[in-house]
Amino acid sequence: MGQRVYINGELVAREEARLSIYDHGFLYGDGVFEGIRVYHRRIFRLQDHITRLYRSARALAINIGMTPEAFHDAVVETARVNEVESGYIRVSVSRGVGLGLDPSHLNSPSTVVISTEQLRLYPQEMYERGLEVITASTRVPPSCCIDPQIKSLGRYINNIQAKMEANRVGAGEALMLNMEGYVAEATGDNLFLVVNRGLITPPSSQGALPGITRATIMECAADLGIPCREAVITLYDCYSADEAFLTGTAAEVIPMVRLDGRDIGSGNPGELTRTLIAAFRERTCTDGPTY
């Protein structure tokens, strides 16, 4: 049996999956989403992803139209039917179907799509040698415009532009600053710095998404007795850090060894970074439902 896609309560063949051209997610980026990883038939931290999805939807006044428990079961069933051993699950929810910006003109329920795919954000050698990163000129939107805690479909156009900046100069990734010039995040990842054997990461108030992998690394650090705090971060802090790494569902945990032509620390993946990568990988074997 070929790949199946969950659309509005039904599992259909991927080749037959269809959405309206007037779906608000397609027309206006009016929706929310999650990216979720599967490791050896274990859906990593699924409940955390579902919780964040519903919080994002509530913040945008989108009624998903099914309970979190039902959504949880739909994700598990989609992964099970597609026999995903290890891979990526994409969940997208739009406000519904209708032409025009005014949500009051929509007379259809929200659109819910769950699909599975294989995804690797960076080549394997970058995990071994580390990423070379630039600082993008494209800034993250201020929270008074788009709150960074909302994982919305329309939020990522700036991130895409920043990623294109990195691509143009052959860099593996780009850091993004907020309007005040402080470091917020990378294009699809959260940032951690290692300074004096402790971790520092930007808070969501500075434009960073409260990532699931980010939270996992903070828990791993607590278990290992590694100090970790949220703080406003400048480019100077990044340039002068002992180590640095990025985290995200697609990226997992990847060392950042060079920024804007400057080596970070020794210019190689650091000891603490490797320790936390190993701790994260252990968590992927225990956190989340299996099928």
Domain boundaries along the sequence of the chain: 4-117, 124-283
| pLDDT reported for residue 121 | 75
Mean pLDDT score, 263-283: 96
Q: Strand 252-259 relative to strand 131-135: parallel, antiparallel, unpaired? A: parallel
Range of lowest pLDDT (10-14, 30-34, 104-108, 261-265): 104-108
Distance CA 266, CA 26 (A): 45
Per-residue model confidence (pLDDT) at position 88: 95
Task: Say if residue 95's pLDDT is above 80.
Answer: yes
Phi–psi pair at 199, nearest 5 degrees = -105, 145
Rounded to an integer, the average pLDDT of 174-187 is 97
- pTM higher than 0.85, yes or no? yes
What is the distance between the alpha carbons of residues 34 and 44, in angstroms, rounded to a whole number? 12
Q: Give the pLDDT of residue 122.
A: 85
For all residues of the chain together, what is the average pLDDT? Answer: 95
Quick one: pLDDT at residue 125? 87
| Mean pLDDT, rounded, for 141-152 | 90
pLDDT of residue 182: 97
Average pLDDT estimate for 97-101: 93
Class of domain 4-117 (CATH, top level): alpha beta
CATH of segment(s) 124-283: 3.20.10.10
pLDDT digits 0-9 by tens, 20-45: 999 999 999 999 999 999 999 999 99
Question: In this predicted structure, what is the pLDDT of residue 108?
Answer: 84
Q: By percentage, how much of the chain surpasses pLDDT 90? A: 89
pLDDT of residue 274: 96
Predicted local confidence at residue 1, as pLDDT: 63
User: How many CA atoms are closer than 13 Å to the CA of 111, on its beta-carbon side?
Assistant: 24
pLDDT computed for residue 120 by the predictor: 74
For residue 148, what pLDDT is reported? 87
Residue 55, judged by CB atoms within 10 A of its CB (0-12, 13-18, 19+), counts as: middle
Model confidence at 118: pLDDT above 80: yes
Q: pLDDT band at residue 2, thresholds of 50, 70 and 90?
A: confident
